[in-house]
């Protein structure tokens, strides 16, 4: 589902690349929150549990820290 919605590309069993266009960090955070919600809903629907999830902005090399709600 995410692959279609975000022009995604499955890199391997554990990694997927998606494209997000954003105007500023607040816009990016809002989109990431929506994506994370969707990921957790899909996992719940499939009776799965997310144990490790990381996001990286490739252009700047920033990593999304879900617990902190921001970039590191």
Range of the domain at 16: 2-71
| CA-CA-CA-CA dihedral for 30, 19, 51, 47, to nearest 10 | 90
Structural contact between residues 66 and 72, judged by C-beta atoms closer than 8 angstroms? no
Confidence of residue 58 (pLDDT cuts 50, 70, 90): confident
Tell me: the pLDDT tens digits for 12-29?
888 888 888 899 988 988
For residue 13, what is the DSSP state? S
Lowest mean pLDDT segment, chosen from 35-44, 45-54, 59-68 = 59-68
**Considering its fold, how many domains does the chain have in total?**
1
Which among 42, 37, 24 has a CA at the least distance from the CA of 66? 37
pTM over 0.85, yes/no: no
């Amino acid at each position: 589902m995410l692959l279609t919605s975000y022009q995604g590309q499955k890199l391997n069993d554990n990694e997927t690349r998606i494209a997000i266009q954003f105007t500023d960090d607040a816009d990016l955070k809002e989109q990431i929150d929506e994506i994370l919600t969707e990921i957790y809903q899909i996992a719940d629907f499939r009776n799965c549990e997310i144990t490790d999830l990381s996001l990286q902005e490739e252009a700047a090399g920033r990593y999304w820290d879900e617990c902190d709600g921001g970039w590191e």
